[in-house]
Amino acid sequence: MSASAPLAFDVVGVAAHGSVRMLRVQAASAAQAQQQAQLEGLRVLSCRPAAAPTLALRPRRHVRLDVALFAEEVAALLDAGLGMVDALRTLAQKERAGPARAALQAVADALIEGQPLSAALARQPALFPALLVASVAASEQTGDLVAALKRYAAHLEAMRALRGKVLAASLYPALLAAIGSLVVLFLLGVVVPRFALLLEGAQRDLPAASAALLALGRAIGTHPALFAAATGALLAAAALALARAIRGGWQIRGLQRMWVVGPLVQLFRHAQFFRTNAMLARGGIPVLRAFGMSRSLLAPEDRPALDAAMQAIAAGQPLGPALHRAGIADAVALRMLDVAQRTGQLADVLARIAQFQEARLARAIDVASRLIEPALMILIGLVIGGIVVLMYLPIFDLASSLQ
């Protein structure tokens, strides 16, 4: 018989200098895991199998929590005089979803074991974003945890409002394009094959476009299953691409170079970037670290420019010119950042830049919607009308010959 495979244990203990450490130890039993931790100089506080916290490693869709509401409720409970452990247990009892309830209870247990709140939240990455963990970690140094939680909740609400504006503006064009595409597929899959069958015996010289359309209709009528499979595959691929884009935060390379849509996407991402950095700067996080944490909010093609700007800032160059050369700060933001560098009010200036860009985005969305919606309706009308006209041209020609 082969020896049993070692198991993984998470051991939390106090080091000789008083700090709390967490180790993942491979051992055959919990007792052996504790012995290994003691050999490393730790006074063991807890030892549990590593499989217990796998709840935090589940995909995000299995563990759902309104983080903004969580931050607001924790801040309110702390203001009311409750301790952090009691506040987390209260929210865990209120939570209906079992995974989220267990995760909140795990955070409370980690606090009882002596871990700081930021470390306990970091062990649940499926629930708590890195920005929240960083804000809490900074507040642990300054002692303003309640203010940090309120800032984070307000930040999320502002970001949701900004996304809501973009979503509301894009909903009607997307719906219009989807309905138009379905109508075109219906014409090609049902109507055109029947017209092609009707005119199959007519020995007439047809226009080239009508002949090509009717040939396509005959091919579809001969192989309807193949057309249905191709249509289903196309719709499935479009749905999969949409799901991946949503899950990835629309981080699609080249999206910012699209006509009309590209400038809006860039302005939206820059507004997100500055608002997030304003929140982090108010929490006491250094600007370079804040930029690094907000890097994923920018487009993939903008990130190398941001990295170069961060290197220039670390080398002592002013903040505004470095971001301006990277294409992230426009002329107005450049002047405002110059003022911030002289006055030291970086967080307030970053928030004003975000507000200015959000106002520009709202105006740009209004103008773009007035352009895109009529253009899309004209395009769909031309496509559908063109198909109908090409179908009826042979009938008109046949009717004129009979007369």
Given this model, what pLDDT does residue 400 score?
65
> Does some domain include residue 250?
yes
> pTM for this structure?
0.63
pLDDT for 344 beyond 60: yes
CATH of the domain at 82: 1.20.81.30
Please indicate, yes or no, whether residues 41 and 85 belong to a single structural domain of this protein.
no
Helix (H) or strand (E) holding 374: helix 346-402
Higher-confidence position of 164 and 311: 311
* Closest to 95 measured CA to CA, from 121, 74, 115, 81: 74
The number of beta carbons lying within 10 Å of the beta carbon of residue 218 is: 17
- Residue 189 is given by DSSP the state I
**Residue type (1 letter), 351:** A
Residue 39: Cβ-neighbour burial (10 angstroms; 0-12, 13-18, 19+) = exposed
**Which contacts of 393-398 are long-range, i.e. CB under 8 A and separated by 24 or more positions?**
393/206, 393/207, 393/210, 394/199, 394/202, 394/204, 394/206, 394/210, 394/214, 395/199, 397/204, 397/206, 398/199, 398/202, 398/204
Please indicate, yes or no, whether residues 248 and 363 belong to a single structural domain of this protein.
yes
Please indicate, yes or no, whether residues 143 and 265 belong to a single structural domain of this protein.
no
pLDDT for 231 beyond 80: yes
DSSP 336-370: HHHHHHHH--HHHHHHHHHHHHHHHHHHHHHHHHH
Answer whether 354's CB lies under 8 Å from 274's CB.
Answer: yes
Please indicate, yes or no, whether residues 383 and 272 belong to a single structural domain of this protein.
yes
Given this model, what pLDDT does residue 11 score?
75
> Does some domain include residue 216?
no
List alpha helices for 283-345, DSSP H: 287-293, 303-314, 319-325, 331-343
**pLDDT digit string, tens, across residues 290-326:** 888 888 888 888 888 888 988 988 888 888 888 888 8
In this prediction, residues 47-60 reach a mean pLDDT of 47
Please indicate, yes or no, whether residues 43 and 148 belong to a single structural domain of this protein.
no
> Does some domain include residue 352?
yes
**pLDDT digit string, tens, across residues 232-241:** 888 888 888 7
> Does some domain include residue 287?
yes
**Mean pLDDT across the chain:** 79
Given this model, what pLDDT does residue 61 score?
44
Given this model, what pLDDT does residue 54 score?
35
**Residue type (1 letter), 23:** L
**pLDDT digit string, tens, across residues 125-150:** 878 887 788 888 878 777 788 888 88
> Does some domain include residue 210?
no
> Does some domain include residue 125?
yes
Structure-block tokens of residue 128: 């708590």
Please indicate, yes or no, whether residues 183 and 42 belong to a single structural domain of this protein.
no
pLDDT for 185 beyond 80: yes
In this prediction, residues 89-108 reach a mean pLDDT of 82
Given this model, what pLDDT does residue 133 score?
83
User: Lowest-confidence range among 99-103, 144-148, 391-395?
Assistant: 391-395
> Does some domain include residue 85?
yes
pLDDT for 193 beyond 50: yes
> Does some domain include residue 215?
no
Given this model, what pLDDT does residue 364 score?
84
Please indicate, yes or no, whether residues 26 and 168 belong to a single structural domain of this protein.
no
Given this model, what pLDDT does residue 6 score?
67
Structure-block tokens of residue 169: 């503006």
The number of beta carbons lying within 10 Å of the beta carbon of residue 266 is: 20
Please indicate, yes or no, whether residues 88 and 170 belong to a single structural domain of this protein.
no
Please indicate, yes or no, whether residues 147 and 176 belong to a single structural domain of this protein.
no
In this prediction, residues 201-220 reach a mean pLDDT of 75
Given this model, what pLDDT does residue 232 score?
86
Please indicate, yes or no, whether residues 247 and 337 belong to a single structural domain of this protein.
yes
User: Lowest-confidence range among 75-84, 200-209, 271-280?
Assistant: 200-209
Domain that includes residue 136, residue range: 57-156
Confidence of residue 53 (pLDDT cuts 50, 70, 90): very low
In this prediction, residues 202-230 reach a mean pLDDT of 79
How many separate domains does the chain show?
3
Instruction: Give the integer Cα–Cα distance in Å for 86 and 203.
Output: 86
**pLDDT digit string, tens, across residues 26-38:** 887 878 888 887 8
Structure-block tokens of residue 235: 């719709």
* Closest to 297 measured CA to CA, from 326, 324, 265: 265
Higher-confidence position of 22 and 160: 160
Higher-confidence position of 135 and 96: 135
Given this model, what pLDDT does residue 2 score?
42
Please indicate, yes or no, whether residues 134 and 18 belong to a single structural domain of this protein.
no
Residue 256: Cβ-neighbour burial (10 angstroms; 0-12, 13-18, 19+) = buried
Q: Which of 72-81, 206-215, 216-225, 375-384 shows the highest mean pLDDT?
A: 375-384
Answer whether 206's CB lies under 8 Å from 214's CB.
Answer: yes
Answer whether 46's CB lies under 8 Å from 12's CB.
Answer: yes
Helix (H) or strand (E) holding 113: none
Higher-confidence position of 206 and 107: 107
Regarding beta strands 43-49 and 20-27, do their DSSP bridges make them parallel or antiparallel, or are they unpaired?
Answer: unpaired
Answer whether 191's CB lies under 8 Å from 391's CB.
Answer: yes
Given this model, what pLDDT does residue 22 score?
66
Please indicate, yes or no, whether residues 402 and 273 belong to a single structural domain of this protein.
yes
